[in-house]
């Protein structure tokens, strides 16, 4: 059982701060659990027991960042939720966590060569599905999760990945296209 604000939270916070500091000095490919242990003052055994791998640790850092900085909105309408979420994604992909978020989107954590969503993306997908289900429960025409990913998220990530961050109008334009498709279906 974890104690919010207890030793577990302090260890996690120290490790996350160390990861962020190290990534300001080096690429994520150079990051290692021993370097994080040294920077954070947390024993390597704790890191290996809790996270096991650098990709798992990076996913945890991204998940915590997204939970704090970009919680999923619940405005009472699908349009409001999607507009707020898409704008938040676009902002996040231009900020200091851009590299980590893009990395989380690209890492394959599936076993035996099978592609799978990483932990943070799987968690976010479940949350997005809940947003769409809420809209359906209210009687709104909601797209599928795949449509949301293909028509809103994929272009935003594409822009960020290839050095053209989304402009202020892009998230709204993408959401408009998605909702037009959902209304037509």
Summarize pLDDT for 86-96 with one digit per residue, the tens: 998 888 888 66
Residue pLDDT tens, the chain, 185 long: 455 567 888 999 999 999 988 988 888 788 899 999 999 999 999 999 999 999 889 888 888 877 776 678 999 999 999 999 999 888 888 866 676 776 666 654 444 454 455 566 777 888 899 999 999 999 999 999 999 999 999 999 888 888 777 888 999 999 999 999 999 98
CB atoms near residue 102 (< 10 Å): 16
Fold of 65-184: Tetracycline Repressor; domain 2 (1.10.357)
Cα distances (Å, whole numbers) of residue 26 to 17, 43, 97? 14, 21, 14
- Residue located via tokens 């939270």: 9
What angle separates helix 7-25 from helix 33-40, to the nearest 10 degrees?
110
Q: Given this model, what pLDDT does residue 109 score?
A: 45
Q: What is the CATH superfamily name and number for domain 7-52?
A: Homeodomain-like (1.10.10.60)
Domain ranges in the chain are 7-52, 65-184
Q: Would the pTM count as exceeding 0.95?
A: no
């Amino acid at each position: 059982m974890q104690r919010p604000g207890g030793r577990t939270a302090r260890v996690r916070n120290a490790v996350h701060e160390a990861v962020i500091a190290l990534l300001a000095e080096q690429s994520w490919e150079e990051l290692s659990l021993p370097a994080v242990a040294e920077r954070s003052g947390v024993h390597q055994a704790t890191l290996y027991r809790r996270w096991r791998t650098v990709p798992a640790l990076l996913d945890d850092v991204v998940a915590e960042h997204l939970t704090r900085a970009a919680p999923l909105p619940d405005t009472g309408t699908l349009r409001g939720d999607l507009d707020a979420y898409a704008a938040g994604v676009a902002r996040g992909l231009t900020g200091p966590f851009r590299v980590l978020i893009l990395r989380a989107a690209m890492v394959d954590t599936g076993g035996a060569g099978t592609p799978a969503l990483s932990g943070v993306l799987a968690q976010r997908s479940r949350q997005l599905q809940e947003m769409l289900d809420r809209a359906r429960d209210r009687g709104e025409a909601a797209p599928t999760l795949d449509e949301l990913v293909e028509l809103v998220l994929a272009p935003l990530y594409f822009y960020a990945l290839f050095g053209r961050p989304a402009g202020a109008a892009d998230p709204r334009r993408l959401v408009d296209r998605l909702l037009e498709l959902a209304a037509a279906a």
